[in-house]
Amino acid sequence: MENDLQNLEAEIGSALAAVADTPALEAVRIKYFAKSGLITSLMEKVGQAPKEQRPVLGKQVNEFKGRVNAAFEEKKSALESKAEAAGVDETLPGRPVPAGSLHPIYAARDRAIAIFRRLGFSLAEGPDVETEHYNFDALNTPADHPARNEGDTFYLADQSLRLAADGDRDRRGRLLLRTQTSPVQIRVLEKATPPVRIIAPGRCYRRDEIDATHGIAFHQMEGLVVAEGVSLAEMKGTMELFFRELLGHDLKFRFRPHFFPFTEPSFEVDASRPGNLVKGKEWLEICGCGMVHPKVLQNAGIDPEKYTGFAFGFGIERIAMMLHHVNDLRLFTEGDARFLRQLSPAV
């Protein structure tokens, strides 16, 4: 019995020593000091001891209780004065910390990235502030192309700005905010030796009238595959597989001949699906693509006799609108948390 008391006292002593806050103290109280705690069960043992031992035992137990109770009270007041000194009332409920979440545009981007990663694509990036060379010339865009107008493209008022890293060394043409992610094609090809298989998501800028489907800053995802013997069939298969994974396996496609200066032949991809992707529209234009123009390969120092490739580009806002059945792009940037919360659950 005496041993039991000693052991328990040592145990309580180290439990109290380890207590650092009120909840921990409460746990110690419940384990040892409460009605159903270990001290009470020890007291019950005293009651069961032979009659002649009880007076001695009782005295020991009372002294034991005196000591452990005092130790408990001492710890309690030490904690209280610590909290007071820190100006903290530990009995108040905590303040909720709002958890952030990924913006739906970026969540859509990440879904697209995940699919392309499974198809063996890696990520590439380029700067938002570009040169005319990368954004237009190297992409085989003629000097009189309408997209180059000051009415369509944001040229930087301060042309003395220095570009990050190597972009500044061979700066050609005026500085502008990139109108598409396509310049990343050139930046990647200049550095890499094929095979190249990349996607490049990023922000783009255009001097558009803002409406339900146009913003002046938006996101695109560019794709580029260059290797020996890359065919149009591979392009078509890649596009179909990607969009079916993203938007539904019942998607139908239409590859409409189109014109882009940096691809030949070029296509616009329309998709359609039973029940429609967007209300009231059977076919929706979702992507531009084509076989990389030999001049583009040449401009980036790649031999077009040896290598072929395909490229594609699509708007991420448009994807997010389809994924969430949102019909006005502006909702994404108004910052109304009630709207955003519905589309991206807290992480």
Binding site for ligand DAH (CB under 6 A): 180, 182, 222, 260, 263, 288-290, 311-313
Instruction: Please state, in angstroms and rounded to a whole number, the distance separating the CA atoms of residues 222 and 303.
Output: 22
Q: Please enumerate in sequence order all residues whose Cβ is within 8 A of that of 22, keeping only pairs 6 or more positions apart, or say none.
A: 79, 83, 90, 91
Instruction: Please state, in angstroms and rounded to a whole number, the distance separating the CA atoms of residues 153 and 163.
Output: 18
Q: Considering the complex, what minimum distance in angstroms separates the CB of residue 204 from ligand DAH?
A: 7
H or E element that contains 220:
strand 217-227
Which residue number, 12 or 225, has a Cβ lying nearer to ligand DAH?
Answer: 225
Instruction: Please state, in angstroms and rounded to a whole number, the distance separating the CA atoms of residues 208 and 66.
Output: 82
Which residue number, 28 or 183, has a Cβ lying nearer to ligand DAH?
Answer: 183
Q: Considering the complex, what minimum distance in angstroms separates the CB of residue 87 from ligand DAH?
A: 57
Q: Considering the complex, what minimum distance in angstroms separates the CB of residue 260 from ligand DAH?
A: 4
Q: Considering the complex, what minimum distance in angstroms separates the CB of residue 307 from ligand DAH?
A: 16
Instruction: Please state, in angstroms and rounded to a whole number, the distance separating the CA atoms of residues 214 and 107.
Output: 20
Which residue number, 254 or 341, has a Cβ lying nearer to ligand DAH?
Answer: 254
Which residue number, 10 or 259, has a Cβ lying nearer to ligand DAH?
Answer: 259
The distance of Cα 235 from the centroid of its chain, to the nearest Å, equals 28
Q: Considering the complex, what minimum distance in angstroms separates the CB of residue 311 from ligand DAH?
A: 3
Percentages helix, strand, coil for the chain (3-state, rounded to 5) are: 45, 20, 35
Q: Considering the complex, what minimum distance in angstroms separates the CB of residue 158 from ligand DAH?
A: 25
Between helix 54-85 and helix 2-17 the angle, nearest 10°, is: 0
Which residue number, 201 or 290, has a Cβ lying nearer to ligand DAH?
Answer: 290
